[in-house]
Amino acid sequence: MNLTQKILNVHLMNGNPVPGERVGIKIDQTLTQDATGTMAYLEFEAMGIDRVCTELSVSYIDHNMTQQGPNNMNDHAYLQTTAANFGVYFSRAGNGICHQVHLERFGAPGKTMLGSDSHTPTGGGLGMIAIGAGGLNVALAMAGKPFMMSYPKVIGVKLTGELQPWVAAKDVILKLLSILTTKGNVGCIVEYFGDGVKTLSVPQRATITNMGAELGVTTSVFPSDEKTRDFLKAQGRDNVYRELKADENAEYDRIIEINLAELEPLVTQSPSPDNVKTFSEVEGTKVNQVIIGSCTNSSFRDLTIAAEIIKGKTVHPETSFAIAPGSRQVLEMIAENGTLATFIKSGARILESSCGACIGQGASPGENAVSVRTFNRNFAGRTGTNNDNVFLASPEVAVVAALTGKLTDPRKSGFEYPDVREPKEFKIDDSMIIVPPAAGEAPQIKRASTIGAPPENIPLPENIDGNVVIKVEDKITTDHIMPAGPFLKFRSNIPEYSKAVFNCFNENGKPSFDERAAEIRDEGKHGIIVAGESYGQGSSREHAAICPMYLGIKIVAAKSYERIHKENLVNFGILPLTFSNNEDYDKINENDNVMIENIRLQLKNKNTITAKLKSGDVIELKHDLTSEQIETILAGGILNQKI
């Protein structure tokens, strides 16, 4: 067996372990963050369960940190008190980004984890099967329910050789993104193996599995070996170490070989993480802003190597440079050993240990400015600036750009490549993690006026009298559907947040998506979204389903879907259909009426749905939902079903 199969099979609760079959997996650990957590705990409350049934659940504050008005702190108070009531550990604001902190303080080889954030696969760097999902799925896992997923195909990535100076873990995942791209990998898990694995530390592996989310795979996983033991020991947690690896001659559905020694520094340019470029294509591009941070690349080593390069120099006069350490542990360590002072002296701006700029909260680039970031996503507009031009890169490439003011192949920069090792001991201080009190001893849940109610939906009607509210193209991300940035503070307020659905497509003088959808809903009709390939890429935010649901959307007809978003649509009673014949996509236009008669009956009886278009044409749509999922759709979502 390969490692993926080994871990999944011991967690199998139902179904056959055959690729493509739907199986139920026992979840050992869960993770939520504040931007998706409020909904997840509102949903958990609605299930009426007293205490989580997992081995460990942690609620993190890291996304919603700096917005104006009372919303953020109201959310934090709600999350702190729900954590205490439900037996969940609570990582306070300031303690760092969920994925970095979880890797440092909680992750354990061989465990399964479900997180309400798409970068939960970071845990794969420690040999976990760590999967991102919508908040409702995480709430169900906290309630002890199996996580239903497609048993994966496993893509084996054989690593050989060793990274050369100036080439980083980021370049491994960028190389893989250039091979696999962001679409077409649904239902797969990436598993790393080969001699090259042992040359990578856990934080380096975590950079790779973190950004593996951009491939659209279910997750990515590394073996657990001596390097894993070293990391856990340095975190004072070697008691959770176990060796884990694939059997000799284990089989994979596909094998990709990457010789680490042959890799070169790479970057990937907006608008997609798979738009990978070599320096021969971008060398010399003027850079206006550089940020080192995010859950992808803000570990102790990432910051230390950048500091060693910048030491004694000043940031280029026309470039703004900022750092955001991934956790309080990292910040405290670089503060104590003088590294932080090196950054300050060099002219770096010091941002807090949180998601911050990565999710469009501040530090937006100027008009036509080029920003180089060590993050994982460069979807158009995610920075908060329209037509942004973001290059994602390693800390090494980023800091060299900050010094030279342009994209410079770091191998040709003339700077000395520093010898930076992982620390033998990390600074351990869990005082910002609140352990839940015993049952019955928790304070009352604090529910300020900005905390809404769990989302409600009606069952699927007999007939769909539909109208196409929007028609979009391929690779629509959840950032397009449901923007974050300044709107993040409305995550616990569905009516308010719904006003921003698809707002990147708003045109002056034309009604916005929410206005048109609400009008159609108020006329008693049903909203439809038409989309191209890979609909719903990117984040796990279930608001990209909840808010359209609130606005009366009943059906999405797309050429294909990304995994998490499709599950979220089903969870909230929106029917995800595909075209039996993709050319039919061209037959439907925005504002067209689409009639589907006896949809409930059609769904129960077959996997095709006949729809009549305005033109009189009849087209066939299809689905691949299980009978359980069909029940959910008919009921109008999981919260209408008995749990």
Q: Which residue among 117, 479, 514, 584 is the active-site one?
A: 117
Q: Which residue among 301, 541, 563, 623 is the active-site one?
A: 541
CA distances from 183 to 177, 273, 303, 545 (A): 10, 11, 31, 20
Collapse the DSSP code of 553 into the 3-class scheme (helix H, G, I; strand E, B; otherwise coil) and give the result.
strand
Residue 119 touching ligand MIC (CB under 6 A): yes
Residue 63 touching ligand MIC (CB under 6 A): yes
Q: Which position among 25, 31, 35, 551 is part of the footprint of ligand MIC (CB under 6 A)?
A: 35
Residues 6+ positions from 627 with CB-CB distance below 8 Å: none
Residue 374 touching ligand MIC (CB under 6 A): no
What token pair was written down for 327? 């956790």
According to CB under 6 A, which residues from 356 to 415 bind ligand SF4?
A: 358-359, 376
Pairing label, strands 593-596, 464-471: antiparallel
Return the number of the residue (360 or 576) whose C-beta is nearest ligand MIC: 360
In this chain, which stretch among 222-230, 248-256, 304-312, 536-544 interacts with ligand MIC, using CB under 6 A? 536-544
Residue 406 DSSP one-character state: B
By a kind-dependent CB cut-off of 5 to 8 A, residue 104 interacts, out of ligand SF4, ligand MIC, none, with none
Residue 72 touching ligand SF4 (CB under 6 A): no
Return the number of the residue (5 or 378) whose C-beta is nearest ligand SF4: 378
**Residue 507 Cβ vs ligand MIC, minimum distance, rounded to whole Å:** 25
Return the number of the residue (117 or 171) whose C-beta is nearest ligand SF4: 117
Residues forming beta bridges with residue 619, ordered by sequence position: 611
In this chain, which stretch among 71-79, 163-171, 214-222, 352-360 interacts with ligand SF4, using CB under 6 A? 352-360
- Whether 627 sits among the annotated catalytic residues: the reply is no
According to CB under 6 A, which residues from 291 to 350 bind ligand SF4?
A: 294-295
Burial, 233: exposed, middle or buried (Cβ in 10 Å; 0-12, 13-18, 19+)?
A: middle
Q: Which residue among 62, 302, 388, 514 is the active-site one?
A: 62
What token pair was written down for 384? 């908060």
Burial, 248: exposed, middle or buried (Cβ in 10 Å; 0-12, 13-18, 19+)?
A: exposed
What token pair was written down for 363? 């530090």
Helix axes 328-336, 98-105, angle to 10 degrees: 80
Give, for 401, the enclosing helix (H) or strand (E): helix 395-404
- Whether 105 sits among the annotated catalytic residues: the reply is no
**Residue 72 Cβ vs ligand MIC, minimum distance, rounded to whole Å:** 13
Per-residue burial over 127-153, b if 16 or more Cβ lie within 10 Å, else e, is: bbbbbbbbbbbbbbbbbebbbbbbbbb
Give me the count of residues in the chain: 643
Tokens 């990117």 belong to 538
By a kind-dependent CB cut-off of 5 to 8 A, residue 541 interacts, out of ligand MIC, ligand SF4, none, with ligand MIC
By a kind-dependent CB cut-off of 5 to 8 A, residue 294 interacts, out of ligand SF4, ligand MIC, none, with ligand SF4
Q: Which position among 30, 32, 36, 185 is part of the footprint of ligand MIC (CB under 6 A)?
A: 36
In this chain, which stretch among 7-15, 148-156, 353-361, 435-443 interacts with ligand SF4, using CB under 6 A? 353-361
- Whether 117 sits among the annotated catalytic residues: the reply is yes
By a kind-dependent CB cut-off of 5 to 8 A, residue 540 interacts, out of ligand MIC, ligand SF4, none, with ligand MIC
Q: Is the preceding omega at residue 483 within 30 degrees of 0, hence cis?
A: no
Question: What CA–CA distance (Å, rounded) separates 29 from 132?
Answer: 12
Question: What CA–CA distance (Å, rounded) separates 80 from 70?
Answer: 16
Return the number of the residue (72 or 560) whose C-beta is nearest ligand SF4: 72
Q: Which position among 219, 297, 540, 560 is part of the footprint of ligand MIC (CB under 6 A)?
A: 540
Q: Which position among 301, 328, 541, 563 is part of the footprint of ligand MIC (CB under 6 A)?
A: 541
Minimal CB distance residue for ligand MIC? 539
Instruction: Name which of 357, 358, 368 is nearest 288 in CA terms.
Output: 368
Count of alpha carbons within 13 Å of 341, Cβ hemisphere only?
Answer: 4
Tokens 């900050």 belong to 402
Type of residue found at 596? I
Q: Which position among 32, 57, 91, 118 is part of the footprint of ligand MIC (CB under 6 A)?
A: 118
- Whether 62 sits among the annotated catalytic residues: the reply is yes
Return the number of the residue (467 or 492) whose C-beta is nearest ligand MIC: 492
**Residue 382 Cβ vs ligand MIC, minimum distance, rounded to whole Å:** 8
Tokens 């080994």 belong to 6
**Residue 479 Cβ vs ligand MIC, minimum distance, rounded to whole Å:** 7
Instruction: Name which of 39, 46, 13, 137 is nearest 629 in CA terms.
Output: 137
CB 536 within 8 A of CB 595: no
CB 582 within 8 A of CB 559: yes
Size of the site for ligand SF4 (CB under 6 A): 10
Residue 566 touching ligand MIC (CB under 6 A): no
By a kind-dependent CB cut-off of 5 to 8 A, residue 331 interacts, out of ligand MIC, ligand SF4, none, with none
- Whether 377 sits among the annotated catalytic residues: the reply is yes
**Residue 215 Cβ vs ligand MIC, minimum distance, rounded to whole Å:** 14
Return the number of the residue (41 or 60) whose C-beta is nearest ligand SF4: 60
What is the CA angle 634-574-46, rounded to 5?
Answer: 75
**Residue 376 Cβ vs ligand SF4, minimum distance, rounded to whole Å:** 5
Q: Which position among 217, 359, 469, 517 is part of the footprint of ligand MIC (CB under 6 A)?
A: 359
- Whether 63 sits among the annotated catalytic residues: the reply is yes
Burial, 85: exposed, middle or buried (Cβ in 10 Å; 0-12, 13-18, 19+)?
A: buried
Binding mask 460-499 for ligand MIC (x = CB under 6 A): ------------------------x---------------
Q: Which position among 104, 117, 171, 302 is part of the footprint of ligand SF4 (CB under 6 A)?
A: 117
CA distances from 289 to 322, 363, 364 (A): 8, 9, 9
Instruction: Name which of 452, 563, 469, 567 is nearest 515 in CA terms.
Output: 469
CB 31 within 8 A of CB 55: no
Pairing label, strands 129-132, 608-613: unpaired
Instruction: Name which of 166, 74, 593, 185 is nearest 399 in CA terms.
Output: 166
**Residue 413 Cβ vs ligand SF4, minimum distance, rounded to whole Å:** 27
Site residues (CB under 6 A) for ligand SF4? 63, 97, 117, 119, 294-295, 355, 358-359, 376
- Active-site residues: which are they? 62-63, 117, 377, 539, 541
Summarize as ranges the residues that interact with ligand MIC (CB under 6 A): 35-36, 63, 117-119, 132, 359, 484, 538-541
